[in-house]
Structure 1
Amino acid sequence: MRITGTPPGDAPRLQHAAGFHSSPDHLVGQLLPLARAALGRGEAVALALAPDTETALRDALGTADGLHPLGPPAEAGSGQTVAVARARELRELTRTAGPVSVLGEHRSDLDGPDGSFWTEFDAAVNVALAELPVRMTCFFPEMPLHLCVLDGARDNHPQLLVDGEVRPNPRHRAPRDVLAAYPVAPPVLLGVPDLTVAFQSWELQEVRRAVRDIAGAAGFTDDRVEDVVLAVNEVATNAVEHGGPHAELHVWATGGGLVCEVHDTGALADPLPGMASPHPSEPRGRGLWISRQVCDLLHVWSDDRGTHVRVRAAP
């Protein structure tokens, strides 16, 4: 896998605004001038819209030139994982196309049980895309099923789109402050793990050996085995360095690959570790960022028992 970070430079950074709509027609009516303005500036327009909305926007524009649909979320249950995937797509697009305008839409099918997916996602976007030349406008219904969707939107976005004009949002808070008020939810519980390894700092070799053996037995290629071993090793190293002397690895072998969880008893100081692309001059802080790039999911959460990280990887 090719892994790239954000190059240093003085390019414009993320601009992140929220808009609100009362109907599908109202939504398209707000999207249309934003798309036209971006295309008029010579910017690529990336779309994270529901299929019906995207079709209506394309019809209204009368062209598909300059439009780039973003891929569907591969792991809707983890806002931080979806934000990493979005950052990866947009990093590549900005390398070839320069500054990009992103038009996004709330989708209720991604809400999860309580709508907190969107609060986590937008907080993570503010970290993962912070250094990219991206102008991102996210639209939300005025009356969503879960009211916390609106609370998160108003707390996470530095700007608001009001009557076609982007204005500063006085309610905006830093991502980590938002997630202190709305903690990241744990993922769906799994059954009894196929493998459990308790370890301390001098036993990380046992963690690597265990993951290598079970990934090989699950049909992973040699290169993919090394990806998974690298990712789990970085998470496990963090656990015993920052979370306490004792930690535990749980592994499930599934039809779709491996799920690994690392649990420690430490407090989580940063609810979004490894989200920001490290600067080339930074000697540390690359491990979890690289782990997020090579895995299909890396989800971090905490509770009164400690800090937990779930990693999922397909062969």
Structure 2
Amino acid sequence: MTVPAAPGSSPFDHRMAVFGSDDEFLAQALPFLAEGLAARHEPPPVVIAAPGNLDLLRDALGPAAGDIGLLPHTEWYTGSAANAIAQGAGYLAAHAGPGGRIHLLMEPVWGGRAGRSPRETAEWIRYEALANLLFAPQATTALCAYDTRVAGATIVAAAQRAHPDCAVYEDPLRIAAELDAVPLPAPPGSAERVPGPAPAAGAVRTWATVQGLAPAEADVFATAVTEAAAALGPVDRALLWADGPACVCELRPVRRVEDPLAGFVPPDPAAGQDRGLWFARQVCAYVDVRDEPGGTSVRLQYG
């Protein structure tokens, strides 16, 4: 696929607001919403934020709050960073104006999944960075709100590098490469090699059930593995192992994965595109695509 135009040459307007008090939140949110209400050819702006911040806006706006969509962020950010990308793409397709025009004020749930571990935080920073490429064709105006009382200085500093309106903004692919430079743990010696040029769904399903996954979950994991393998082409090696309650599969495709956005772009069935890595990213906790000296490794962790 062709990587979308870089920020600065695309219509996507990706901003960041940093606040440490209720007054600071309102001082940045209210002008943004006024801008959205005044924008031509746009539906009313939407706020996806913590319930307390939604209450602040209702009080500040009074009757005008009825003109603005207000959604608790726990109802939007319900899974992984890849899920958030799918949610955003689906929402723009269904509700935005021509060309994706809409003003969205978006506050990640840093007190929940996104901030619960360094690994989760890294994936959400990747999401913020790659959003500049994934949504580049859209004329959407997004203001990402970061509450320093929840997110903390380290997360805020990392997120600033992912927003073009910040002085420390970095190229999204550079940020992704930095995140990928952190090595993954090596597969354990007990990892089970799956025979064949591609892992068979039945074999993966049986293995996952033995590890303790419920039949329905084992079926989802097997589907993610087999569809990812099919999208990658011939697989030189496939390994399975358990990591605590999680099931992990590492695929070594014969060819390298050159697309930095592989699995992040929704497939177009009308164009004959299959789900492949997209499905894997939607159902797995993590999908790591690493370019290594011996080739590419694709690691799927379910659970």
Q: Could you state the TM-score of these two structures normalised by the residue count of structure 2? A: 0.69
Give 2:239's match in structure 1, choosing from 227, 238, 248.
248
Instruction: Name the CA distance, whole Å, in 2 between partners of 1:103 and 1:184.
Output: 31
Pairwise CA distance, 1:15: 1.7
- Structure 2 unaligned runs (5+)? 1-9
Instruction: Name the CA distance, whole Å, in 1 between partners of 2:16 and 2:50.
Output: 17
In the alignment, is the contact (CA less than 8 A) between 1:278 and 1:285 conserved in 2?
A: yes
- For residues 197-236 of structure 1, the aligned pairs below 5 Å read 197-201=193-197, 204=198, 206-211=199-204, 218-220=214-216, 225=219, 229-236=222-229
Q: 1:84 to 1:250 in 2, by over 3 A?
A: farther
Pairwise CA distance, 1:280: 7.3
In the alignment, is the contact (CA less than 8 A) between 1:198 and 1:249 conserved in 2?
A: yes
Matched, 1:74 2:71: no
Q: 1:185 to 1:55 in 2, by over 3 A?
A: farther
Matched, 1:136 2:142: yes
Matched, 1:150 2:186: no
Aligned to 1:112: 116
| Residues 231-256 of structure 1, C-alpha deviations (whole Å, 9 max, x = no match) | 32122235564xx61222347997xx
Matched, 1:300 2:291: no
Aligned to 1:274: 263
Q: 1:26 to 1:176 in 2, by over 3 A?
A: same
In the alignment, is the contact (CA less than 8 A) between 1:48 and 1:104 conserved in 2?
A: yes
- Structure 1 unaligned runs (5+)? 1-11, 161-168
Pairwise CA distance, 1:283: 6.3
Q: Which amino acid aligns with 1:28?
A: L
In the alignment, is the contact (CA less than 8 A) between 1:240 and 1:264 conserved in 2?
A: no
SS in 2 for 1:261: strand
SS in 1 for 2:77: coil
Matched, 1:55 2:55: yes
SS in 2 for 1:173: coil
| Residues 92-124 of structure 1, C-alpha deviations (whole Å, 9 max, x = no match) | 333899622110225431323344344222023
Q: Which amino acid aligns with 1:198?
A: V
Matched, 1:16 2:7: no
Pairwise CA distance, 1:49: 1.0
Aligned to 1:34: 32
| Higher deviation after alignment, 229-238 or 304-313 | 304-313
Give 1:64's match in structure 2, choosing from 58, 63, 66.
66
Pairwise CA distance, 1:130: 3.2
Aligned to 2:3: none
Instruction: Name the CA distance, whole Å, in 2 between partners of 1:231 and 1:251.
Output: 16
| Residues 160-212 of structure 1, C-alpha deviations (whole Å, 9 max, x = no match) | 2xxxxxxxx454333221111233878999x999x9452342xx2x5222245
In the alignment, is the contact (CA less than 8 A) between 1:154 and 1:171 conserved in 2?
A: yes
Aligned to 1:6: none
SS in 1 for 2:174: helix
Aligned to 2:6: none
Aligned to 1:237: 230
State the identity %: 21
In the alignment, is the contact (CA less than 8 A) between 2:48 and 2:70 conserved in 1?
A: no
Instruction: Name the CA distance, whole Å, in 2 between partners of 1:174 and 1:279.
Output: 27
Which structure's relative contact order is higher, taking Cα pairs within 8 Å and 6+ residues apart?
1
The number of equivalent residue pairs is 278
Q: Could you state the TM-score of these two structures normalised by the residue count of structure 1? A: 0.67
